[in-house]
Structure 1
Amino acid sequence: MDKNVVFAVITIFWLLFAVVGYLISFWYEERGVIRCCAIATAVCCYLAWLVTFLMQMNPMIGPRASQKIIFGMMSYWPNSFLHDEPDP
């Protein structure tokens, strides 16, 4: 799926969750508590998803090493592709 479609669907879902929770609160005597719980749940879950989604869109760059260090790792590690035979 396209990232804009996913973003829109999840945003609409949590917005509808908050609106439905707000409207259901009118049926009960503890309106304030139910409204607070429904809206806080929607906001917290949406923010947790949004942070995860945005971090995956632009991931951090991994560690950088110089060319000498990379060649050293490739030549000394036993699982590197340079080793055809075991070291003496």
Structure 2
Amino acid sequence: MGIEVPMIVVTLFWAAIGGLGPFLVPRNTDRGLVRTMLVLTAVCCYMFWLVAYLCQLNPLFGPRMDAKVLIAMQREWS
């Protein structure tokens, strides 16, 4: 399973929450606030997931060591 399937599924899920959710809110005095909360929740959760997912695709490299340090480690630890 490549990167496309999770990206499409999660994007569609949060797009449905942020796009369709506000239209399902019943009429009351706080309707605008609830709509705003739904959209902001969908955007924030999606962005958090996207950053966490993309960071796992390209992890940070470990520390870079000098050749002298590597030789010393090999000599001392083996």
TM-score (norm. length: structure 1): 0.77
Deviations along 1:12-68, whole A, 9 cap, x unmatched?
Answer: 01001112321112x131210110110000000000011111111222222100222
- Corresponding residue of 2:11: 11
Which runs of 5 or more residues in structure 2 are unaligned?
none
Matched positions, count: 77
Q: CA RMSD in A?
A: 1.4
Structure with greater proportional helix content: 2
Which runs of 5 or more residues in structure 1 are unaligned?
83-88
- Corresponding residue of 2:27: 28
The structure showing larger relative contact order (alpha-carbon pairs under 8 Å, at least 6 residues apart) is 2
3-state SS of 1:5 partner:
helix
Q: 1 CA distance for matches of 2:65 and 2:32?
A: 56
Aligned identity (percent) is 38
TM-score (norm. length: structure 2): 0.85
